[in-house]
């Protein structure tokens, strides 16, 4: 039989090769993959070689499948991968906020921005440097040419103002 008739080969031997590989590897998913890889390799071999007649096609298919299984086992031993059971993935809660929560958070953020806009400019700038830009009190003090305690007082004033505004809002 010519190897070029790959469709006939596949239909004739796919199931038995898959059963063989499943028994050999004890993993049906890997067996399916290696069965397909077997036929890909045989097709590739037929394309590269001009004489594509193989005397014992079935034996040839089994040899290719067996070699792929051996290669797979060797690769697993070199680079073991712990396979996770993905059957429970659907039960993991999704962390993304709901549309309602996004709108509520945006509304609250806008409220805080308006409260910060009510602060004196220097206090607001210090608050932004420390709480938004992530500078330390000392870094903000150096940048503005004031003392660390001055930065602390401005931050305390800003936080007290925002908290008071949120308290009036009922948050």
Q: Can you list the domains of the chain with their CATH numbers?
A: 6-81 (1.10.1740), 116-169 (1.10.10.10)
What is the pLDDT of the chain when averaged over all its residues?
A: 84
Does the pLDDT value for residue 171 go beyond 80?
A: no
CB-CB contact of 37 with 67 (8 Å): no
Low-confidence winner among 7-11, 53-57, 152-156 (lowest mean pLDDT): 53-57
Does the pLDDT value for residue 84 go beyond 70?
A: no
By percentage, how much of the chain surpasses pLDDT 70? Answer: 85
13 or 67: which leads in pLDDT: 67
Does the pLDDT value for residue 90 go beyond 50?
A: yes
Nearest to 4 by CA among 36, 51, 38: 51
Name the burial class of residue 129, with classes exposed (0-12), middle (13-18) and buried (19+) by CB atoms within 10 angstroms of its CB.
buried
Beta-strand ranges (E) seen in 23-96 are none
Query: Sorting pLDDT into bands at 50, 70 and 90, what band is 6?
Result: confident
91 or 134: which leads in pLDDT: 134
Render pLDDT for 104-163 as a digit per residue (tens, 0 to 9): 888 888 888 898 899 999 999 999 999 889 999 999 999 999 999 999 999 999 999 988
Residue 12 is predicted with a pLDDT of 84
Give the distance from CA 91 to its chain's centroid: 17
pTM (predicted TM-score): 0.45
Residue 51 is predicted with a pLDDT of 59
């Amino acid at each position: 039989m010519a190897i070029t008739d790959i469709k006939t080969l596949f239909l004739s031997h796919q199931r038995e090769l898959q059963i063989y590989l499943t028994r050999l590897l004890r993993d049906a998913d890997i067996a399916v993959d290696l069965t397909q890889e077997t036929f890909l390799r045989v097709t590739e071999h037929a394309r590269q070689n001009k004489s594509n007649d193989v005397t014992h096609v079935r034996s040839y298919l089994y040899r290719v499948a067996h070699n792929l299984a051996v290669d797979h086992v060797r690769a697993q031993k070199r680079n073991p991968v712990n396979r996770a059971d993905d059957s429970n993935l659907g039960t993991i809660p999704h962390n993304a906020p709901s549309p309602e929560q996004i709108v509520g958070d945006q509304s609250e953020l806008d409220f805080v921005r308006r409260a910060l806009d009510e602060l004196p400019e220097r206090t607001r700038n210090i608050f932004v440097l420390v709480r938004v830009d992530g500078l330390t009190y000392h870094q903000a003090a150096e940048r503005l040419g004031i003392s660390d305690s001055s930065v602390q007082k401005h931050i305390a004033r800003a936080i007290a103002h925002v908290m008071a505004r949120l308290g009036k809002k009922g948050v």
